[in-house]
Structure 1
Amino acid sequence: MARVGFVGLGIMGVGMAGNLKKKGHDLVVWNRTKEKCQALEKEGAKVADTPADVVKECDIVFACLADPDIAMDVVFRDDGILKVCPGKAYVDCSTVDEECSNKIGDAITAAGGRFLEAPVSGSKKPAEDGTLIFLTAGDESLYKDSQPYLEAMGKKHRYLGKTGGGARMKLVVNMIMGSMMNAFAEGMTLAESSDLDLSALLEVLDAGAMSNPMFRLKGPSMAKGEYPPAFPLKHQQKDMRLALALGDKLEVPMPVAAAANESFKRARMEGKGDLDFSAVHGSLRKAK
């Protein structure tokens, strides 16, 4: 079985890489802080010293990085992905804007490699369970070649055409999710302030047309004022910012998303960035 690389073992990447290892793939990993590689190393993964070393040892490398700046750094740094690109394949699962994805894709292609963007829909638990949704775009031959790996990490994958399509789709999805979460948090705060039973609210919502897995999963913890991180609030706010920038570029009015972004920004300023994005509820409760 071909050796596969994985760069970025954060809250998402560690689960994704773990599922590749569980499916029997020979795995090489790298992370900026090596301590995060230890669990996979114990399971038999090889730990590389640099991103370039991962590419040297693998024909295909996946990455899941926190933001556009880190995604660019891992590719363009002196010991980065771009140093060993001819004949290699790079699949970037990071959530970045279209401009970032195109810069990376163009550089990889110009160096003789193949590039696929593949941002994911899902959070920590789906990453651990192998039930992510991959929104791919770029080199179609690489999309076909990467399917066994995508299927080891996810339940569904969709090809969306040329590079940029995956990035745009992911920002739209996360913008909708963030706006929904902000409205949900406001509703829970209003219900609590109205002396309503939050468990009754959750039951009513779940029985009607607004029933959805996010409310069902997050609601009980939010009612307790607990926000264990599955998708960090700082990442949700970053995605809202990028989605709003896309809206500005395309002259699409987005007043609801803009208002939600302000709530996430306030929560982040209050030190809630590393909590789950549902912690926007804690910020609203504090403000009432």
Structure 2
Amino acid sequence: MEVGFLGLGIMGKAMSMNLLKNGFKVTVWNRTLSKCNELVAHGASIGKTPAEVINKCKVTIAMLSDPAAALSVVLDKDGVLEQICGGKGYIDMSTVDPETSCKINEAITSKGGQFLEAPVSGSKQPAETGQLVILAAGDKALYEAAIPAFDILGKKSFFLGQVGNGAKMKLVVNMIMGSMMNAFSEGLTLADRSGLNPRDLLDVLDLGAIANPMFKGKGPAMLQNNYSPAFPLKHQQKDMRLALALGDENSVPMPVAAASNEAFKKARSMGLGDMDFSAVFETLKVLKHSS
């Protein structure tokens, strides 16, 4: 099976590499073409434009940074829309708002193509090990055709119905994750300021009812000021913003998420946007130093 892949950031690179290692033929494109070189060394082909990738491949996957990038790759010159047609499928695995997914769906289907949104739950390590959770919605036939690829990329795939539902589910998941990270950061800081050893807190949490892989995986690195990006903070803040907009649309009060979003915005203003989203912890250290 030959698959196109658009976007080779932290996630896209790991996902396309997984496909290559598991016998898929992959044609890749990235806005900075030099990022394709490592994939080419493992057997990938390069498409010079998104349109060229679409023309070559029956199914093309995109993993892009934000709604603007997702729309640009489809609608701009030499974009997806120039070559999409009947018999070709486009799967956008980016995290975007439901409105963006619906716009892309309308554009693709107006040219006869099939569209599936399929954002993922998981960051760098799950992407590298094929342990993502795939939240798909849209064309059911394309979903079924993509199962062999999804089985390589993820540990579980969900089909959630109409376009927009995948985006909504991903935003809800990331809203919860961002809020949890803020509460975790506050807990680590409160333990430290109260004269406790934060490492003892990690052990206590890991033995209780709120034990979870995020606390276990991120906590030790946070205490060592290690924010190597598995999921960049700027993307987490973008997702919080989009989740809050979804809350507004559905008249859902979200005071915890709103406060967490402010913390991520503060971290971005401190120049931490390209660090891991756990770097929101640093906003509390600033408060400590200024007190």
TM range (shorter): over 0.9
> Structure 1, residues 51-110: CA drift from partner, whole Å, max 9, x if none?
000001100000000000000000001100011111210000000000000000111011
Q: Tell me by how many angstroms 1:117 deviates.
A: 0.2
Q: Tell me by how many angstroms 1:227 deviates.
A: 1.1
Code of the residue aligned with 2:13 in structure 1: it is: V
Q: Tell me by how many angstroms 1:34 deviates.
A: 1.1
Stretches of 4+ aligned residues off by more than 3 angstroms: none
Code of the residue aligned with 1:23 in structure 2: it is: N
RMSD (CA atoms): 0.6
The whole-number CA distance in structure 2 between the counterparts of 1:118 and 1:284 is 35
Code of the residue aligned with 2:131 in structure 1: it is: T
Q: Which residue of 1 aligns with 2:11?
A: 12
1:220 corresponds to 2:220: yes
The whole-number CA distance in structure 1 between the counterparts of 2:256 and 2:283 is 18
Q: Tell me by how many angstroms 1:226 deviates.
A: 1.6
Output the TM-score relative to the length of structure 2: 0.98
Code of the residue aligned with 1:3 in structure 2: it is: E
Q: Tell me by how many angstroms 1:244 deviates.
A: 0.1
The whole-number CA distance in structure 2 between the counterparts of 1:198 and 1:226 is 15
Q: Which residue of 2 aligns with 1:43?
A: 42
Q: Tell me by how many angstroms 1:195 deviates.
A: 1.7
Q: Which residue of 2 aligns with 1:118?
A: 118
Code of the residue aligned with 2:19 in structure 1: it is: L
The whole-number CA distance in structure 2 between the counterparts of 1:171 and 1:239 is 6
Q: Which residue of 2 aligns with 1:104?
A: 104
Q: Which residue of 1 aligns with 2:30?
A: 31
The whole-number CA distance in structure 2 between the counterparts of 1:21 and 1:225 is 34
1:282 corresponds to 2:255: no
Code of the residue aligned with 1:157 in structure 2: it is: S
Q: Where does 1:261-276 land on structure 2 (aligned, <5 Å)? A: 261-276=261-276
1:53 corresponds to 2:52: yes
Q: Tell me by how many angstroms 1:153 deviates.
A: 0.8
Q: Which residue of 1 aligns with 2:194?
A: 194
The whole-number CA distance in structure 2 between the counterparts of 1:144 and 1:35 is 33
> Structure 1, residues 130-177: CA drift from partner, whole Å, max 9, x if none?
110100000000000000001111111000000000000000000000
Paired residues, number? 287
1:175 corresponds to 2:175: yes
> Structure 1, residues 183-213: CA drift from partner, whole Å, max 9, x if none?
0001111111112111100000001001000
The whole-number CA distance in structure 2 between the counterparts of 1:88 and 1:142 is 9
Code of the residue aligned with 1:243 in structure 2: it is: A
Code of the residue aligned with 1:44 in structure 2: it is: G
Q: Which residue of 2 aligns with 1:69?
A: 68
> Structure 1, residues 207-259: CA drift from partner, whole Å, max 9, x if none?
10010000000000111122111000000000000000000111100000000
The whole-number CA distance in structure 1 between the counterparts of 2:155 and 2:178 is 22
| SS of residue paired to 1:271 | coil
The whole-number CA distance in structure 1 between the counterparts of 2:5 and 2:287 is 41
| SS of residue paired to 1:188 | helix
Percent identity over paired residues: 59
The whole-number CA distance in structure 1 between the counterparts of 2:204 and 2:43 is 48
The whole-number CA distance in structure 2 between the counterparts of 1:111 and 1:217 is 44
The whole-number CA distance in structure 1 between the counterparts of 2:77 and 2:271 is 33
Q: Which residue of 2 aligns with 1:143?
A: 143
The whole-number CA distance in structure 2 between the counterparts of 1:152 and 1:170 is 20
The whole-number CA distance in structure 2 between the counterparts of 1:36 and 1:124 is 17
The whole-number CA distance in structure 2 between the counterparts of 1:271 and 1:193 is 25
The answer for unaligned runs of 5 or more in structure 1 is: none
The whole-number CA distance in structure 1 between the counterparts of 2:217 and 2:132 is 16
| SS of residue paired to 1:272 | coil
Q: Tell me by how many angstroms 1:36 deviates.
A: 1.1
